[in-house]
Structure 1
Amino acid sequence: MAEETITNLANIKHIILVLSGKGGVGKSSITTQLALCLVNSGNKVGVLDIDLTGPSIPRMLGVDEKQVHQASTGWVPVYLDENQQLCCMSIGFLLQNKNDSVIWRGPKKTAMIRQFLTDVCWGELDYLIIDTPPGTSDEHISIAESLKDVKPDGAVIVTTPQAVALADVRKELNFCKKVKLPILGVIENMSGFVCPHCEECTNLFSTGGGEAMAREFEVDFLGRVPIDPSFTLMLEPSSTPESNDFKNTLLAKYPKSNLFQVFSRITDNVVAKPNQMEWRLLHQALVYQAKEGQEKLLNEVKASENATDIDDDVEIDID
């Protein structure tokens, strides 16, 4: 299993998981915007929707009517643009009817997730964003175990300002620490409301809870994302193209939205985090090596001094 996973994901430079401790916090929306911003920066991106009982990514990207094709090497993901810069895979593409419910027990869900990780022909990608189900269930354990040898960059944790959501996200943060999954940071979603007329942002709920929680767990706070009706309208079926009109897709329209600038800064923070973590580990390794080198040098100096003292004693005795 591990070898198959590594082979299948070998040409993917970065793997990022999007997690939340509670449903309804906008995790799939965050996944979608992260992918759109990365593509806009010139990256080749894949989105894997592992929320088996509530797949939202195909609907948000406007490709829920598309079908996945089977190749000799596995499933071919659905591409959203003619340059094939953005693609996605979801169980939503495999259902006979998009309104069908997935009623599976844990072992079958685990098998499906492993199949997604081994049987999708992603090709070469700069980033693979994995949208996970809410909570800390069998699916999360399966994902963590399956990606252990691949070593993903880490997880982005999504919360909202409400106290109930923050309490559940604390469990998610503890889960990441227990399975040794690096935490890239916390995003506070639905932090304010952007007026569709004057574009002023008003706080509907309390704010700052996500940042305080990030400080409590000593992880980075990546930023706040307000509710923007204009972005919500972009996700409506009436605004998505029915044909291969790539100029009218969400990928083409998103850079014109109010949230684009907000989320671009958050994306920059997400992208920079793995490099910061690598430099931190490198610095720690260099400091450790330097200390070892100093101790070794001191021991050599002491040994040399002891040897000199012995030689002096010998010379005195001879005289």
Structure 2
Amino acid sequence: MKKKVLFADTHELLEADLKRTERAALQGASFYWEGEVLAHLGGTSFFMTKALSQMSSSMKASFKQQVISFIDQGDYATSSYVGFFSMLQSLLNSISTSSFDLNWIAQALENSGFRRNKKMMTRFLLQWRERDSNIIDQDVLSFLNDASPHRNGPRHVLSDDPEKSWLTNEEYDGLLSVVWKNYDNGTSCTQVTLIKLLSMQYARRPIQIAYLKVGDICNSDSLGNIGHYIDFPGAKDLAAETSFRDSKPETHPLPDHIWDLCCIQLQEVRELYENVLSRTLTDDQFKILPLFCSKRRIKEAQQLIETRHQYNLLDHLGSELLHLPK
């Protein structure tokens, strides 16, 4: 006698299938507030004290609630939220405000990073207004929504200005997403990812990135301002006597997500140098070495310096020979 085959209730099957397609655990669980610090488990934390300094206590509380609510929606990848709040933190630090009025929006639109994130910012403010109608006027929100995602002017692809990217805003956002995805899944190493991010963020020439040294990543600028900075070696300076790091450096602030990656790169490249050279480096020795390098390049430079030129490598750690080809 055949056993009777029992089928699960159709409703139960449907319910189980729907659960398999539900959105994964809310990303907001990994973001939380500690006072005025937006903390991210296992990632970048955003110190918002200065950014929120002009807001009233009620507006500050509403802002904090909106941040978590916005992340909980789960409409974007974690890397997108990190990039967005890094931009917003930097912008509010430089243009602090007690209200998101037309004047603040107009100033914010002068910032290229804000324009790149305009769509996400519009959604953020729209959702916030739905929760708290006093936060921003509808007219201001409409003004932001209607603003161009990029400044008027000729296509950047026609420009030789190194400050301008050849990418459209849509291309930039798409490429940024791919860069972080490749890093997260291990397709790209820290060094390759950092080179890509620096190229996208600052539009520096390849030679300026190739000639970066460890000491160019610093905690203050030439004026003594405390913060995270990068000193790109200048390029094509008419007053330069040589072509190797002899031009006026260009100092730029580092956003937190790039600073964090720089810290990882510094750790990894130090291990590389010390492993290949079979010695522990002092901080002063480490600072004059290239930020980006490879085992093969170190060995090639060591061969040239010690064998061909008969020099002590430790006396020439700042040599151009150790830098990767530009």
Common topology (TM > 0.5): no
Per the normalisation by structure 2, the TM-score is 0.20
TM-score (norm 1): 0.20
> Higher relative contact order by CA 8 Å / sep ≥ 6: 1 or 2?
1
More strand by share: 1
